[in-house]
Structure 1
Amino acid sequence: MSDDATPRLSLPYVAAGQAQKHITVNEAFARLDGLVQLAVESRTIVAQPVAPADGAIHILPAAATGAFWAGKAAGLLTRFEAGAWEALTPAAGWLAWVKDEGHAVISDGATWTPLAATFKAVTAAKSPFGANTRFEIVEQEVTLSGASTATTVVIPNRAIVLGVSTRTSVAVTGATSYSCGVSGDTAKFGSGLGVAKNTNNVGVVGPTAYYADTAVVITAAGGSFTGGKVRVAIHVMRFDGAGVVP
C-alpha cells in the first residue's frame, strides 16, 4: 500500500503533522465526487472542451486534442474542476454511465466496452427425454457506417425468427432513415425507421425458419451512414433433439 494515496481510487492521505490538511482532504472529497456513481459526458468527443462544466468527466478517445488532452492514452478519465483538468486511470471493473449515449460501459483497465454490446437471454422447457425448446433474445448495439452495417451476432442456424426489434441509441447521421432486414430482404423487419435517438420499432414477422447463421443488416436510406448507433434484438425459437437412447 502506498503511503501517499489509497490503492483503489488514489485518494490522497493526510500525512502526520501535515500543514493545511484541508487541501488534502478537499482533494480526496473532489475525487470521490467524480468517481462515485461515475457518469461521463462522452467517450467520443475528441477536442478538449473550451468551457466545460465544473466536475465534468470524459473518457478520452484515441487521438484526443487540446492543451491537456493531447498525447494522453485512450480510455483515461479526465476530470475538470476549479479551472484545471486531472487525468485518472481506471481499473478493471469500473463502471460508467455515458450521458450522450444513454448506456453504461465497463473498463478492463484500458478499454471501455458497452454493457449492452452483446446480450443473450434464454428461457427453456425440457421434455422427459431431453428434447428442448428455447426462446432466446440475442442483442447487440451496432455502430453504423457506410451504406449498410451487419450485426456480428446472428440469427442461429435452424432457428425460427419471431421478430427483430430496433432502437436508435445514438442519433443517426448521414441517412434520413434506415431499414432492418437480412441480405436479400433488407426491409424484412422494418423500413423508414427513424434516425432520432430512442426511435424504436418492433419488427414482428410470421415465424420464419433459417438454415444458416444469418446476420441482421441495417441499411441506410437517403444517404450513407456517417455516425449513430442502433440496438438490435433478435427474438428466436431454437430446438434441441431428444437425448441419446441408452
Structure 2
Amino acid sequence: MSDTSPILQLPYILPSQAQKHVTHNEALRLLDVLVQPTVLDRDRTAPPASPAAGARHLVPAGASGAWAGHTDEIAVWEAETAVWRFLAPQPGWQTFVLAEGAGLVFTVTGWQTLNQLAPEFASLGISTAADETNRLAVASSATLLTHSGEGHQLKVNKAAAGDTASLLFQTGWSGRAEIGLAGSDDLSVKVSPDGDTFRTALRVDRGTGRVMLPQGMTVTGSVTGTAVQASAADATAGRLLAVGAFGLGGTAPLIGNAEVTDGSIAPGFYGYDSAQGSSGGPSGVQCGILLHQSRTSGAGEVQLFLVESAAGAGCLPGILFSRARSGGAWSGWFAGGVVDSAGNANGRYIRHQDGTQTCWQSVTTVTSGEAAITFPAPFSSTSGLITTMGVNGTAASSICPRITARTATGANVSAFNTSNARIAVRVELISMGRWY
C-alpha cells in the first residue's frame, strides 16, 4: 500500500505511527494549497526576495534560482522551514491567477486560459435550430451586442467585391429591405414589395462618397443647412435654390449698385428701389426689376430693366431698357421695341418704347371746305409733330394738298387744283410725333 493518496499525494497516517499529527498536518498544508487554489502570478522568472507565508506562484519556463527545473509547477513558500515547496499539477487541475483575473486549467500542453479552451461549434442555435446556411440562429425578442469598455464593431465580411455583405430585413421570411454591400463595394439600400423584385433606393459611391437616389426623392419637410441658399441672393456653387431665389417664386432681392464692373453681381432677378439705395439704373427710374446675366466671369454681361415707376421724361411704367458690356464699362441704357400697334376707323398707329408714335390714314377731301380728320391715336402734344401728305389719283401732279388747324388729336385737310379751287380727292397722310 502506498504511503500517499493517488491524486493529491497527501501523506497517509500509517499503522502504529508515532507523531501522527506531523503526517496529518502535512496533509492539511497540502489541502490548504490545493483546495480553492489561487496563485499570485505566472510570469515571474525568479523567486521573490521576501515572500509572505503561503505565497503561491506558477513557475514559468526559464525560471532561475530555487525555481529552476520546476516549470508549470505551483511554488508554495513554507515560512516555517524557509523553503519553496513545489506541487506538480495533473491534467484537469484548475487555479486562478490574481494578477490577471483569469482562470487556468492544466492540460497535456501546459496551463491554458479557460476561455481559450472553448470549443468551436459547427453550428449554434439559441432557442431555435441552426442549419448549414444559418449556422448561428437566435430566436429572441431582442439581441444585445455591447462593448467591453470602449466601442463595439459588428463586422460583416465578404470574400470578393462581387459577393454580398448585408443586413436583410424580412416579413414572414420574405425580404423587404436590404442594407449593405450587395454585389459591389458601393453601399446600397434596397427595398422590395414581394421579396423577389428589389429596387435600389440609395447608393453611396465607394470612391467619392456621393449619394445617388436612383428612384428620386420626396421631401415633406424643410431642407436646411449649408447645402441650401443662405439668402435669396446666395450664389454659392452647388447650393440648392430656395423659393424666392433671385426672385423665383418670391420677392426679388434688392440690388445695390447695378453698374459695377467687377463681375460681382450674380446672375438672376433683382428688385430696384432708389429710395432703398439702389443705383445705376436708367435715368429717372425709381423702381423696377433688373435681370442680370453673365457670359463669363467678370465680362460679357447684359442687363434688362423693366420699369415699375419713374419720374423722368421718356421713362414710363412698363418700358423695357437694356445694356451690355464686354470686359469694360457698361454701354448706355437703350429703350426700344413696340409698345402698341392697332387700327380703327381712322387708320392705324404704332407706338414705340422710346415714345415715338406713327399714324397713317387715308382721307377724301371735299369741295365745300376743309375735311376734319381724327388721328388713329392721339399724340402727347404738337411739339415735334410732323404730318406729310400725298394724293392718291391720276392727276396728282396738278393737285396741292394742305393741312391746317392741327392739334394733338387731329387736323383739317384740303386739296386744291391749279386754279386754286378745292377738289374732292383721296389723300394719304402720315403723322409722326410722341405719344408720351
TM-score under structure 2 length normalisation: 0.31
8 Å CA contact 2:75, 2:86 repeated in 1 = yes
TM superposition shift of 1:95: 0.5
- Counterpart in 2 of 1:132? 134
- Counterpart in 2 of 1:210? 158
2:27 aligns to what SS in structure 1? Answer: helix
| 1:2-17 superposed matches below 5 A | 3-17=2-16
Is 1:76 matched up with 2:73? yes
Between 1 and 2, higher relative CO (CA 8 Å, sep ≥ 6) is seen in 1
- Counterpart in 2 of 1:23? 22
8 Å CA contact 2:70, 2:86 repeated in 1 = no
Q: Which amino acid counterpart does residue 48 of structure 1 have in structure 2?
A: P
2:28 aligns to what SS in structure 1? Answer: helix
8 Å CA contact 1:93, 1:109 repeated in 2 = no
TM superposition shift of 1:16: 1.4
Structure 1 pair 40/69, CA: closer, same or farther in 2 (3 Å)?
A: same
TM superposition shift of 1:90: 0.6
8 Å CA contact 1:164, 1:204 repeated in 2 = no
8 Å CA contact 2:129, 2:137 repeated in 1 = no
8 Å CA contact 1:163, 1:204 repeated in 2 = no
TM superposition shift of 1:133: 5.4
Q: Which runs of 4+ in 1 moved over 4 A?
A: 162-166
8 Å CA contact 1:75, 1:110 repeated in 2 = no
Structure 1 pair 56/46, CA: closer, same or farther in 2 (3 Å)?
A: same
- Counterpart in 1 of 2:33? 34
* Unpaired runs of at least 5, structure 2: 139-143, 161-166, 168-436
Q: Which amino acid counterpart does residue 80 of structure 1 have in structure 2?
A: W
TM superposition shift of 1:53: 1.6
1:44 aligns to what SS in structure 2? Answer: coil
- Counterpart in 2 of 1:113? 112
**How many angstroms apart in 2 are the aligned matches of 1:24 and 1:118?**
38
**How many angstroms apart in 1 are the aligned matches of 2:133 and 2:109?**
43
TM superposition shift of 1:204: 3.1
TM superposition shift of 1:163: 7.2
| 1:223-234 superposed matches below 5 A | none
Q: Which amino acid counterpart does residue 47 of structure 1 have in structure 2?
A: A
| 1:1-246 superposed matches below 5 A | 3-66=2-65, 68-70=66-68, 72-82=69-79, 83-108=82-107, 111-117=110-116, 119=118, 122-124=124-126, 125-126=128-129, 132=134, 134=136, 200-205=149-154, 208-211=156-159
Q: Which amino acid counterpart does residue 76 of structure 1 have in structure 2?
A: E
* C-alpha RMSD of matched pairs (Å): 3.0
Aligned residues between the structures: 150
TM superposition shift of 1:92: 0.7
2:76 aligns to what SS in structure 1? Answer: strand
Q: Which amino acid counterpart does residue 89 of structure 2 have in structure 1?
A: P
Structure 1 pair 53/75, CA: closer, same or farther in 2 (3 Å)?
A: same
Per-residue deviation, residues 165-186 of structure 1 (Å, max 9, x unmatched):
55xxxxxxxxxxxxxxxxxxxx
**How many angstroms apart in 2 are the aligned matches of 1:105 and 1:126?**
33
Structure 1 pair 99/165, CA: closer, same or farther in 2 (3 Å)?
A: same
TM-score under structure 1 length normalisation: 0.53
- Choose 1 or 2 for highest CA Rg: 2
